[in-house]
Amino acid sequence: MQDKCTTVLVYTREAMSRSNCYPYGYRRLGSDGMEVVDDSWRVRLPSLLWIPVFVFGALLYFVDIFEIEFLSLHPTIESIKDFTYDIHKGFAINTPGCKIPEMDPFDPSVQKFIEPPTPVECNKGVPALFEANLTSIYITRSSLPAYNVSDINDLRCCYWVIQRIEPKKNQYDVFMSKSSMCKYINTSAEIKDEFIKVQCFLDNATTYVDTFSFVPIKNSTKSKVIRSKPLNVLVVGLDAVSRLNLHRQMPDTLKYLQQLEAVEMLGYNKVGDNTFPNLIPVLTGLFEDELIKSCWPTTKSFFDNCTFLWNHFKSKGFVTAYGEDSSWMGLFNYQRHGFQKQATDYAYNYFNRYAETHIGNAHKMNVNQCEGARMVYKDLLEYIKKFVVTMNNNSLPFFGFFWGASLSHDYLNQPKLGDPVYLKFFQELQEEGHLNNTALVLMSDHGIRWGGIRQTYQGRMEERLPFVFVVLPTWYRNNYDRAYSNLKRNARRLTTPFDLHETLYDLLDPYGLSGENLKTANKSRGISFFRDITKYRTCEDAGIASHWCACQQSKELDKNSSVVIDVATFAVNYINLELQGYAQCANLTLLDILNARLMSHSGDIEGLNNIQDYMITIKTIPGEAIFEVTVRYFEIDHKYAVIGTISRLNLYGKQSACITDFHLKLYCFCKNFL
Ligand SMILES: *[C@@H]1O[C@H](CO)[C@@H](O)[C@H](O)[C@H]1NC(C)=O
Ligand SMILES: *[C@@H]1O[C@H](CO)[C@@H](O)[C@H](O)[C@H]1NC(C)=O
Ligand SMILES: *[C@@H]1O[C@H](CO)[C@@H](O)[C@H](O)[C@H]1NC(C)=O
Ligand SMILES: *[C@@H]1O[C@H](CO)[C@@H](O)[C@H](O)[C@H]1NC(C)=O
Ligand SMILES: *[C@@H]1O[C@H](CO)[C@@H](O)[C@H](O)[C@H]1NC(C)=O
Ligand SMILES: *[C@@H]1O[C@H](CO)[C@@H](O)[C@H](O)[C@H]1NC(C)=O
Ligand SMILES: *[C@@H]1O[C@H](CO)[C@@H](O)[C@H](O)[C@H]1NC(C)=O
Ligand SMILES: *[C@@H]1O[C@H](CO)[C@@H](O)[C@H](O)[C@H]1NC(C)=O
Ligand SMILES: *[C@@H]1O[C@H](CO)[C@@H](O)[C@H](O)[C@H]1NC(C)=O
Ligand SMILES: *[C@@H]1O[C@H](CO)[C@@H](O)[C@H](O)[C@H]1NC(C)=O
Ligand SMILES: *[C@@H]1O[C@H](CO)[C@@H](O)[C@H](O)[C@H]1NC(C)=O
């Protein structure tokens, strides 16, 4: 049933075995967008044609062996381009340990899911009455008619100061206080506070409510002393955008990043299902279960005892900031208790929570797209700008980690709306000199996890391959050329959130990244982008579960075959076992098998020679849930096991309202809907 090329491949150092199985650029999609495996071409090939193939193979063999030496002798950009061109044709990643096909963002199989984004109207078209700059708020006279103000003297406006309150044990980290006094505002006011709520009255009735955030210098940040010239770190995240979706939706931003010589990590592979299991590795270097063991014993615990990247930067004298929008479902807050003590010097997420609660609107699926008359994601970007400008103007070194979900969390095409806005954001940062001393990382956590595109082969691959760009100042690239050429080479290697963690950690000491210091253990789970990531690295080496591994080649199977039916039945039973003890959830039965593939691992994986991984997509009832499950078959003892997490490809919506466990929500169909 398996052909030679789709069984577990044992790679020798010979490039031949590679070209034998995966002719460069050869990949075909069937009408359903699924990859079609067709090896009949091999038989038809006249034998003379093999000669140039052998010669080419031998050439690759030498390039293979001497690659590292070659790079360190001639670490110029041109030479890297020259010899990588042919190797990479048709592949995003083409190493002995991992092969990921290069896919077209506008491939016919995904074309039908690409639509213009839906325009957003904030506040039903009523404009804001106040605007803010770095330090002040001021009235916008042109908005007065929209608020029925004919004489500005009839209008009374004032502002309250909003502050976070520490939660007590077992409480959620959601409390904010409002000052008792509302300070009078005439037409403008300089604001020295961090967060404010503005309210205006006309004829004693409230006619306008708004919220604004600022970045005042705090006592805690005033006395930062740092000896050498620091390299600031700014991470800007955009939730649920695959690398290819960034290419599709944000071409202008992409072009600008390329102008900034951003390095795009083509083989950045996610390690968990959704945001939490992919960002916790970035921020802590740990998997979720390791975090639980080390510092976060229950979902009711605060995260205070865990060590995040910002803790390291803080102890080095950096000012730290964390901020996210859609913070009701925030990283530390969605069914979790957050922090007791504020984790970073600045934390925009608390402001966002207050703003969305009080003036959130244009609600769509999971997010408020607007707070008052402003789009939420733009407000986050403006806050980031304020933070960066303030820190630079006061010569304060900073580490900022920001995460935007409101633009991109739920829809494939909405990020397009943000293209001009992100472009302008990066342009301003660059043109005003804010990137001179800053390492910038633009990243996502995964691609879109549900909807039509997710049920195509390409959509499945994209879900596992989010974008990551690294932008370094020119002087740093020039002075630390070894670290920079490693970064560029690793753009074509298999990489993970654990590596990004090591990369950001390396930036604690950016001037140490040269010579012997760059040596690293080949087999460690996380390896900094600035160091040598071996091309022999497999998903297993990198800590990527088979279910999430984008390196695997696969072969479509007959859905009616007995092994596929066995596997599907096993998967449904497995889900039912998980739900055991939750009497409110219905027992699921298999309705249909939508897709079945046999996966083959790239690279030689020790001890995994007698295993077969099946990836199946099934539909169950009640609820018509669609699941994607990787089931491993152990030939020796004829046993099956589910590998990694089960993906839910359509939304569960209210179906699982009767259960709070966020893992089981994916599976549970509440009996009360029967
Ligand atoms: C911000 O706006 C206030 C009020 O209009 C103005 O006085 C101030 O100069 C502005 N500041 C900046 C940095 O633009
Ligand atoms: C302005 O007046 C119109 C007509 O009375 C009313 O419908 C509208 O709600 C008012 N707008 C505001 C912002 O109060
Ligand atoms: C508000 O400011 C204007 C000038 O901008 C001034 O004429 C007016 O008297 C002020 N009103 C109050 C109540 O302070
Ligand atoms: C506003 O309220 C105050 C106190 O309740 C009252 O004296 C005043 O007449 C009210 N003004 C208007 C325009 O309703
Ligand atoms: C900051 O320091 C000033 C002067 O030392 C003090 O008056 C103020 O209360 C401090 N603010 C905070 C929030 O601790
Ligand atoms: C942190 O750890 C200490 C010591 O183990 C413990 O007493 C405390 O409750 C923990 N704090 C949190 C927020 O979990
Ligand atoms: C920068 O800070 C100085 C004082 O620290 C201030 O005078 C200046 O206006 C600030 N510039 C900006 C653009 O905020
Ligand atoms: C940033 O670098 C550019 C080019 O080297 C220089 O012209 C500019 O003054 C710098 N800006 C700052 C704020 O350091
Ligand atoms: C990493 O692997 C390379 C090639 O196999 C080897 O030459 C090198 O010594 C290894 N480095 C370490 C630190 O193990
Ligand atoms: C699978 O089996 C069903 C019923 O036994 C049949 O209708 C269907 O055509 C078969 N599909 C394939 C792909 O063989
Ligand atoms: C649940 O459904 C499976 C078939 O998928 C069946 O074997 C099992 O007995 C059912 N369990 C319960 C508790 O009804």
Task: Express each pLDDT in 270-318 by its tens digit.
Answer: 999 999 999 999 999 999 999 999 999 999 999 999 999 999 999 999 9
Q: Could you tell me the pLDDT band of residue 638, with boundaries at 50, 70 and 90?
A: confident
Find the ligand nearest to 475 CA: 8
Task: List CB contacts of 352: < 8 A, sequence separation 6 or more.
Answer: 323, 324, 325, 326, 327, 371, 376, 379, 380
pLDDT at 541 over 50: yes
Q: Which residue has the tokens 């229950």?
A: 298
436 lines ligand 8 (CB under 6 A): yes
Residues sharing a CB contact under 8 Å with residue 368, sequence separation 6 or more, in sequence order? 326, 356, 360, 361, 362, 376, 406
Average pLDDT of the chain, as a whole number: 86
The per-residue pLDDT for 166 is 97
pLDDT interval class at 610 (50, 70, 90) = low
What phi and psi values does residue 164 have, to the nearest 5 degrees?
Answer: -75, 145
Q: Are 173 and 332 in contact (CB under 8 A)?
A: yes
At residue 43, what is the residue type? V
pLDDT digits (tens, 9 = 90+) for 225-250: 666 678 999 999 999 999 999 999 99
3-class SS at 316?
A: coil
Distance 388 CA to ligand 1 centre (A): 18
Can you give the pLDDT at residue 523? 72
Pick from 299-313, 463-477, 623-637: least confident: 623-637
437 Cα nearest atom in ligand 8: 14
* H-helix or E-strand spanning residue 99: strand 98-101
pLDDT at 605 over 90: no
Whose alpha carbon is nearest atom 13 of ligand 7? Answer: 393
Per the model's pLDDT, the better-predicted residue between 163 and 64 turns out to be: 163
Helix or strand (DSSP H, E) at 564:
helix 562-578
The alpha carbon torsion through 520, 398, 370, 207 (nearest 10 deg) reads: 160
Q: How many CB atoms are closer than 10 A to CB 515?
A: 9
Q: Which of 156, 186, 200 to mutate to test the pocket of ligand 3 (most atoms within 8 A of CB)?
A: 186
Residue 199: closest CA among 157, 249, 247, 241: 157
Residue identifier of the C-alpha nearest atom 14 of ligand 1: 133
Residue 72 has pLDDT above 60, yes or no: no
Q: Give the residue from 188, 55, 95, 103 showing the smallest Cα distance to 533.
A: 95
Instruction: Residue 666: name the closest of 579, 583, 600, 599 by CA.
Output: 579
- Nearest Cα residue to atom 1 of ligand 4: 204
Residue-wise pLDDT tens digits, 392-419? 999 999 999 999 999 999 999 999 999 9
DSSP 203-248: TTEEEEEEEEE--PPPHHHHT---SSPP-EEEEEEETT-BHHHHHH
Q: Whose CA is nearest to atom 11 of ligand 6?
A: 305
Least confident of 249-263, 461-475, 478-492, 554-568: 554-568
**Ligand 10 nearest-atom number relative to CA 560:** 1
Q: Which domains does the chain have, with CATH numbers?
A: 4-38 (no CATH), 125-213 (2.60.40), 229-494 (3.40.720.10), 554-673 (3.10.450.10)
Full-model pTM: 0.81
Confidence of residue 462 (pLDDT cuts 50, 70, 90): very high
Q: Is the CB of 186 under 6 A from ligand 3?
A: yes
Name which residue sits closest to atom 4 of ligand 10, judged by CA. 560
Task: Give exposure, 63-75, as e/b (b: 16+ Cβ within 10 Å).
Answer: ebeebeeebeeeb
Q: Is the CB of 524 under 6 A from ligand 9?
A: no
Scanning 90-177, the segments in alpha helix (DSSP H) are 108-111
Q: Does 161 have pLDDT greater than 80? A: yes
Confidence (pLDDT) at 599: 82
Nearest residue by C-alpha to atom 7 in ligand 7: 393
Instruction: Give the residues across from 419 on adjacent strands.
Output: none
Percentage above 70 pLDDT, the chain: 84
Q: Whose CA is nearest to atom 8 of ligand 9?
A: 522
CA distances 514 to 320, 511, 527, 534, Å, are 26, 7, 15, 18
Kindly state if the Cβ of 534 falls inside 6 Å of ligand 9. yes
Inter-residue contact 436 to 395 (CB < 8 Å): no
Report strand pairing: 346-347 vs 319-324: parallel
> CA nearest 305: which of 289, 292, 314?
292
Task: Classify residue 40 by burial, with Cβ atoms within 10 Å: 0-12, 13-18, 19+.
Answer: exposed
105: closest CA among 547, 440, 424, 447? Answer: 447
* Minimum-distance ligand 4 atom for the alpha carbon of 203: 13
- Report pLDDT for 136: 98
Nearest residue (by CA) to ligand 6, atom 8, is 305
Least confident of 24-38, 329-343, 660-674: 24-38
Q: Sign of the C-alpha dihedral, residues 313, 314, 320, 323?
A: positive
Between the CA of 478 and the centroid of ligand 11 the distance, in Å, is 64
Distance CA 48, CA 95 (A): 27
393 CA to centre of ligand 7 in angstroms: 6
Which pLDDT value is given to residue 612? Answer: 81
**Pocket lining: 301 vs ligand 6, CB cutoff 6 Å:** yes
Distance between CA atoms of 424 and 253, rounded to whole angstroms? 8
* 430 touches ligand 8 (CB under 6 Å): no
Residue with the larger pLDDT of the pair 551 and 20 = 551
Q: For residue 472, is pLDDT > 60? A: yes
What is the 3-state secondary structure of 484-530? HHHHHHHCCCCECHHHHHHHHHHCCCHHHCCHHHHCCCCCCCCCCCC
Q: Which residues contact 222 (CB under 8 A, 6 or more apart)?
A: none
Question: Does residue 521 line the site of ligand 9, with CB under 6 A?
Answer: yes
Least confident of 80-89, 92-101, 107-116, 525-534: 80-89
Give the Å distance between the CA of 231 and the centre of ligand 8: 14
Task: Indicate which residue's Cα is closest to atom 1 of ligand 8.
Answer: 433
User: What ligand 11 atom has the least distance to the C-alpha of 589?
Assistant: 5
Model confidence at 224, in pLDDT bands (50, 70, 90)? low
Ligand 10 center from residue 569 Cα (angstroms): 17
Q: Distance from the CA of 186 to the center of ligand 3, in angstroms?
A: 6
Band of residue 26 on the pLDDT scale cut at 50, 70, 90: very low
Backbone angles phi, psi at 310, to 5 degrees: -65, -25
The residue to mutate among 569, 576, 584, 593, having the most atoms of ligand 11 within 8 angstroms of its beta carbon, is 576
Closest residue by Cα to atom 3, ligand 7, is 393
Ligand 9 mean position, distance from CA 284 (Å): 26
Q: Which of 29-38, 260-269, 643-652 has the lowest mean pLDDT?
A: 29-38
Cα–ligand 10 centroid distance for 32 (angstroms): 17
Query: Helix, strand, or coil here: 360?
Result: strand
Give the residue carrying structure tokens 């998980």. Answer: 578
- Residue closest by Cα to atom 3 of ligand 4: 204
Asked whether residue 78 carries a pLDDT value surpassing 70, the answer given is: no
User: Cis omega before residue 622 (within 30°)?
Assistant: yes
- pLDDT exceeds 80 at position 580: yes
Q: What is the pLDDT of residues 490-524, one digit of tens each?
A: 999 999 999 999 999 999 999 999 987 888 766 78
**Atom 6, ligand 2: residue with shortest CA distance:** 148
- Please classify residue 464 by burial: count the beta carbons closer than 10 Å to its beta carbon, then call 0-12 exposed, 13-18 middle and 19+ buried: buried
Q: Which of 305, 339, 341, 342 has most ligand 6 atoms within 8 Å of its beta carbon, as the pocket-test mutant?
A: 305
pLDDT of residue 379: 98
Ligand 8: centre distance to CA 347 (Å) = 28
Q: Is the pLDDT of residue 67 over 50?
A: no
Q: What burial class does residue 479 get, using C-beta atoms within 10 Å of its C-beta: 0-12 exposed, 13-18 middle, 19+ buried?
A: middle
**How close is the Cα of 433 to the center of ligand 8, in Å?**
5
The residue type found at 216 is P
pLDDT at position 227: 63
153 Cβ inside 6 Å of ligand 3: no
The secondary structure of the chain in percent helix, strand, coil, rounded to multiples of 5, reads: 35, 20, 40
Cα separation, 652 vs 659, in Å, equals 12
CA of 533 to the centre of ligand 9 (A): 10
Among 587, 588, 621, the mutation site with the greatest number of ligand 11 atoms within 8 A of its Cβ is 587
Query: What one-character DSSP code corresponds to residue 166?
Result: P
Q: How far is the CA of 401 from the centre of ligand 7 (A)?
A: 24
Of the listed ligands, the closest to the CA of 220 is 5
